[in-house]
Amino acid sequence: MAHRILPPGSTIGMLGDGQLGRMTALAAARLGYKTHVYAPGSEGSPCAQVSAAVTSAGWDDLDALETFARSVDVVTLEWENVPVAVVEHLGRFTPVHPGGKVLSVAQDRVEEKSFVNALGIGTAPWRAARSAEEVARVVAEIGPRCILKSTRLGYDGKGQARIEPGTDPADAWAAIGSDAGIVEGFVSFTCEVSVIVARGLDGTMAAYPAVENRHKDGILDKTLAPARMSAETAAEAERVARRIAEALDLVGVLAVEMFVTPDGGVLVNEMAPRPHNSGHWTMDACHSCQFEQLVRAVCGLPLGSVERVADAEMENLIGADADRWPELMAEPGARLHLYGKAEARPGRKMGHVTRLLPRT
Ligand code: AMP
């Protein structure tokens, strides 16, 4: 089916105002597109600093949402927890990619795992739990080692509690601070990987190679691109990501995080229908980066080449790490990206640095 191509000069509406929106806006600007960011309290935000227009208004402000939607040519997002009702309201006035169906799957871990399992794709064993008693029952079934997670709004290991033999389920339940949880069996993985796949309005897809992600204190610390693993496992990871993007009928960019098991298989941990921290290396090492792919996908343009010109190692700059900027600026070959955040709070993603390596 023919679709509308938005030419350079068009305006992309961005829901969410963090670094992912910022880097998308920068990629958009390079191709001649403007960005209009919408988020509560977004004046001076990382994305607002580089956007042509800013609306700072709440997710419940229907009038502001309508005015915003009428002022842009398409809407996308950098935060998957934008309320589905917002996306549906905006959709009355302008195309929104990804849409409400994709968000409702990605916002809830139970929905997400059900969706993935229904495609025949494996995850950790899991059960929903709504009380400490239910947690205890599930742990008896799939434990003893488990992770209890809130079903919604968890990220970077927040809203999670490890359950070991001897852990009181009531303590774990209290720790997640939610009335809806999911208990997952603990996976003894050999490494964590992710695949980022872009999918255009016409259904064409382009996937970056699987990368290895190393976490520190529940936050991504380093990404090694490509992942050092067998060609079979890498191919399986890519197949899984493509299958999910297709089944979601996604338009945009999808990141799928997976565990690699000792037998070389993969289990899906979670996914995000937006650019992802583990894809930042593509800015410096690939013909077209993940942010450019998002712009291309939502504007109906052909996807760019995902070919990498180099291998890469990306290091996140968290909190006070960003104070190292003078030394990183002076390091030959270190490609420094800072997000324009004024305050370096602990655990806050302030920037990243990518170092290129000879292509394998
Ligand atoms: P998540 O917020 O779901 O990505 O979880 C944060 C981190 O906790 C993951 O990157 C893993 O290192 C670890 N983790 C999450 N779920 C599991 C699991 N079922 N088994 C083992 N480790 C896990």
Q: What is the pLDDT of residues 141-196, one digit of tens each?
A: 998 999 999 999 877 667 899 999 999 999 999 999 889 999 999 999 999 999 99
CA of 256 to the centre of ligand 1 (A): 13
Q: Residue 336 and residue 353: Cα distance in Å, rounded? A: 4
Residues flagged as binding site for ATP: 109, 149, 154-160, 184-187, 192, 215, 269-270
What residues pair up with 53 in beta bridges, in sequence order? 36
* Cα-to-centroid distance, 153 and ligand 1 (Å): 15
- Into which CATH architecture does domain 125-185 fall? 2-Layer Sandwich (3.30)
**136: how many CB neighbours lie within 10 A of its CB?**
19
Q: What is the pLDDT of residue 18?
A: 98
pLDDT of res. 2: 59
Distance 269 CA to ligand 1 centre (A): 7
Q: Quick check: 1 pLDDT over 60? A: no
Give the residue, out of 147, 153, 158, with the most ligand 1 atoms within 8 A of its beta carbon, to mutate for a pocket test: 147
Is the whole-model pTM more than 0.85?
A: yes
Number of Cβ within 10 Å of residue 193's Cβ equals 27
At 156 the pLDDT is 67
Question: Nearest 5 degrees, angle CA 24-CA 228-CA 218?
Answer: 60
CA distance 104 to 80: 9
Q: Is 169 within 8 Å of 136 (Cβ atoms)?
A: yes
All structural domains of the chain with their residue ranges: 11-96, 125-185, 191-357
- What's residue 4's pLDDT? 83
DSSP classification of residue 303: P
3-state secondary structure 3-50: CCCCCCCCEEEEECCCHHHHHHHHHHHHCCCEEEEEECCCCCCCCHHH
More confident residue, 86 or 217: 86
Look up the CATH number of domain 191-357: 3.30.470.20
- What residue spans of 71-147 are helical by DSSP H? 84-90, 100-106, 109-118, 132-142
Distance CA 212, CA 65 (A): 38
- What average pLDDT does the chain have? 96
Query: Would you tell me how many other CB atoms lie within 10 Å of the CB of residue 313?
Result: 17
User: Contact, 193 vs 213, CB < 8 A?
Assistant: yes
Kindly state if the Cβ of 100 falls inside 6 Å of ligand 1: no
Closest C-alpha to ligand 1, atom 17: 186
Region at 33 (left for phi over 0; alpha for psi -120 to 50; beta for the rest): beta
pLDDT at 299: 98
The structure tokens 């960003």 sit at 322
CATH number 3.40.50.20 is the correct assignment for the domain at 11-96: yes
For residue range 124-140, list pLDDT tens digits in order: 999 999 999 999 999 99
Query: What whole-number distance in Å separates Cα of residue 90 and Cα of residue 62?
Result: 9
pLDDT at 331: 98
| CA distances to 11, 232, 282, 331 from 84, in Å | 22, 37, 29, 44
Lowest-pLDDT choice from 7-11, 156-160, 211-215, 323-327: 156-160
CB of 157 within 6 A of ligand 1: the answer is yes
Query: Residue 22 burial (CB < 10 Å; 0-12/13-18/19+)?
Result: buried
